[in-house]
Every structure is written in structure tokens, then in C-alpha cells.
């Protein structure tokens, strides 16, 4: 079964709230590069890519109850 880390879930939830990577980084007190690392990890796990990857990843996570 696919599992997301608590930080990956937190980042995805904020993506679902239409927050920018810069905002997420500031809010979580992390660098934008670290946020991109978490997103890249999620994209790989959920097998999404392209311009809409961040929103596709969020939609897939919600559909599969991965954010609970």
C-alpha cells in the first residue's frame, strides 16, 4: 500500500488550498528547495508529471484517502 510521510501530506494539503511553494516553505519554515524535494517524492510515488503534477497529485491523494 502506498504511504505518504506526514510532511508530504502536509505539503499536499496546502497544495489543495492553492498555496504556492514559496508560501508553503515560509509557513513550514523550510526552504523552497526542500518543498520541491517533497513534491518530487510525492510525484514519484503517485506517478504524475507535467505542468499539472501538483494538482494531479493532490487529487489522487484525496481519491485514495492518503491524506487522512
Q: How many domains does the chain have?
A: 1
pLDDT for res 1: 73
Give the predicted TM-score (pTM) of the model: 0.90
Helical axes 32-46 vs 53-63, angle rounded to 10°: 60
In a domain, residue 68? The reply is: no
In a domain, residue 33? The reply is: yes
Q: Domain of 16?
A: 6-63
In a domain, residue 25? The reply is: yes
In a domain, residue 17? The reply is: yes
CATH number of the domain enclosing 22: 1.10.10.10
In a domain, residue 1? The reply is: no
Q: Which residues are CB-neighbours of 64 under 8 A, at least 6 positions away?
A: 2
22-68 per-position pLDDT tens digit:
999 999 999 999 999 999 999 999 999 998 999 999 999 999 999 98
Amino acid at each position: 500500500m502506498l504511504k505518504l510521510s506526514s510532511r508530504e501530506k502536509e505539503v499536499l494539503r496546502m497544495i489543495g488550498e492553492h498555496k504556492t511553494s514559496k508560501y508553503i516553505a515560509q509557513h513550514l519554515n523550510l526552504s523552497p528547495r526542500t518543498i520541491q524535494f517533497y513534491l518530487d517524492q510525492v510525484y514519484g510515488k503517485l506517478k504524475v508529471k507535467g505542468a499539472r503534477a501538483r494538482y494531479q497529485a493532490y487529487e489522487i491523494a484525496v481519491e485514495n484517502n492518503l491524506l487522512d
